[in-house]
Amino acid sequence: MAKIGFIGLGNMGAPMALNLKKAGHDVSGFDAVEAARKTAAGQGISIAGSNAEAATGADIVILMLPNGEISRAVAAEVVPSMDEGSLLIDCSTIDVASARAVHDLAGKAGILCLDAPVSGGVGGAAAGTLTFMVGGSAEAFEKGSPLFEVMGQKAVHCGDGGAGQSAKICNNMLLGISMIGACEAFSLAEKLGLSQQALFDVVSTSSGSCWSVNAYCPVPGVGPQSPADNGYKPGFAAALMLKDLLLSQQAAGESGASTPLGQHASQLYQAMVDAGNGGTDFSGMIEFLKSGAVKG
């Protein structure tokens, strides 16, 4: 069993840390937000006095933080407290440049490093069914794999440092685009007088088939249970989709890639968030489109 420092005990981090504790690992956590520390402590997670204290003597330190700036700052705090040969895993979803900067910082200190953003949301974090998209050396991936098996159902080694973040933002750009397409299709079907169930039965078994329809249909009462059946309470909030789309557009700009649909998707989710719907599930885009807020 490993000694683990877990930094970032929010909606995702706390259940991930708890699953590691339940698996028998020695977990010490910290979060800059006092309420998060109290909640995690109430769940049985041991709370350290600081980021550096959580990392001291740890075999593996895991970060689950809001953005690249914070990941860089926390990495700068914890790396000096970590032993040479230990492993730093950043599960935050951040920009590729920041992920690579964290790798560089760790590498200079003789510390193994992985960027390992996740897919699966809060439900997946609690159930231990997350998917990890991982960047880093083969040695680091091998060392982190037993923890990925506890916290998730799948870990894909995508390549060197930064590759995990690259895979995450490419995947979520496609997800954002496909969800908008699904919402537009079902909205058009309604206007044409076509049964939503009939459209689902066609699309889910034909060339329009995609995860946004088959597994996460944005229409209530159609297909498997989804946030649409619960008033669009978020499984994955629109504000988080916007964050990932903006990261994709930052990466596209830096790499010279042409992503016009990714750009348009980010603009639509920006409008949805600006209208006060950032806390709605991202599939709630269908209600935003039907509201007439978007012309075209």
User: Which among 3, 22, 154, 168 is annotated as catalytic?
Assistant: 168
CB 144 within 8 A of CB 111: no
Instruction: Write the single-letter amino acid at 52.
Output: A
Q: What is the pairing mode between strands 87-90 and 130-136? A: unpaired
Closest CA to 172 of 164, 183, 162, 160: 164
Give 274's DSSP letter.
I
CA dist., res. 49 & res. 30, Å (int): 7
Residue 168 known to be catalytic: yes
Instruction: Check if the beta carbon of residue 37 is closer than 8 Å to that of residue 57.
Output: no
Do residues 236 and 281 lie in contact, with contact meaning Cβ atoms separated by under 8 Å? yes
Exposure class string for 275-287: b at 16+ Cβ within 10 A, else e: eebbebbbbbbbb
* DSSP secondary structure code for residue 255 in this structure: H
Q: Could you tell me which of 95, 119, 270 has the C-alpha nearest to residue 180?
A: 270
How far lies 144's CA from each of 41, 54, 150, in Å? Answer: 25, 18, 10
Burial classification of residue 267, based on how many CB atoms lie within 10 Å of its CB (0-12 exposed, 13-18 middle, 19 or more buried):
middle
Can you read off the two tokens belonging to residue 56?
């001291």
How far is the CA of 179 from the CAs of 120, 208, 224, in angstroms?
16, 12, 16
What 3-state DSSP class applies to 90?
Answer: strand
Active-site residues: which are they? 168
